[in-house]
Amino acid sequence: DPLHGYFSAVAGSDQQIDAHELQRCLTQSGIAGNYQQFSLDTCRIMIAMLDYDYSGKMGFQEFKQLWGCLSQWKTTFLQYDSDRSGTCEPHELYAAIASFGYRLSPQALNIMVKRYSDNGRIAFDNFISCITRLKTLTERFQQRDTAKNGMVQFHYDDVRSAKFPSC
């Protein structure tokens, strides 16, 4: 399995990888293609998405799960980067987010564009960071929304750990 090769090349004896090791692993794998390598911050966000034990690391099974997400997200990014600039414009980001099934208000989308764009364009690394955070926050919200009424109660530590993951 080539994925296991990428993973094993950077994992320590504990067979876990942290954000620095994930960054090296993804760079060596070439999944970012011609785009800039993933930033350390994006790698931390990706680990936090799957870090249910708050260790700041991921094992091979989580890495495989992440790889599946990254592959899908890269395909979507390429699909919506219609001018092949290597970046998404706001309307392309909106379409990509909608293609994943997320329905966000115009205000929420505007906040995302302001947070993740540089001169109105969203680079691949920022696209991945944005989608990863959106997926993580949505899943954590849905876990708490047991009544399925769109309302939940959070404790301060829950919000802090979602905003500032341990890795």
CB atoms within 10 A of CB 21: 19
Q: Count up the domains in the chain and report the number.
A: 1
Give the pair of three-digit tokens for residue 146: 């047991």
For 51-105, write each residue's pLDDT tens digit.
888 899 999 999 999 999 999 999 999 999 888 888 999 999 999 999 999 988 9
Q: Return the CATH number at 100.
A: 1.10.238.10
Residue 132 has pLDDT above 80, yes or no: yes
Beta pairing, strands 122-123 & 87-88? antiparallel
Query: Residue 130's Cα: distance from chain center in Å?
Result: 6
Q: In this predicted structure, what is the pLDDT of residue 100? A: 93
Q: In this predicted structure, what is the pLDDT of residue 159? A: 62
Sign of torsion over alpha carbons 40, 42, 45, 51: negative
The secondary structure element, H or E, covering residue 122 is strand 122-123
Q: How confident is the model at residue 164 (pLDDT cuts 50, 70, 90)?
A: very low
Q: In this predicted structure, what is the pLDDT of residue 162? A: 56
Residue 166 has pLDDT above 80, yes or no: no
Q: In this predicted structure, what is the pLDDT of residue 31? A: 83
Domain containing 89 equals: 2-163
* Gap between the Cα atoms of 141 and 15, Å rounded: 30
* pTM, rounded to two decimals: 0.85
* Gap between the Cα atoms of 160 and 105, Å rounded: 23
Cα angle 105, 69, 96 (rounded to 5 degrees) comes to 35
What value does the mean pLDDT of the chain take? 87
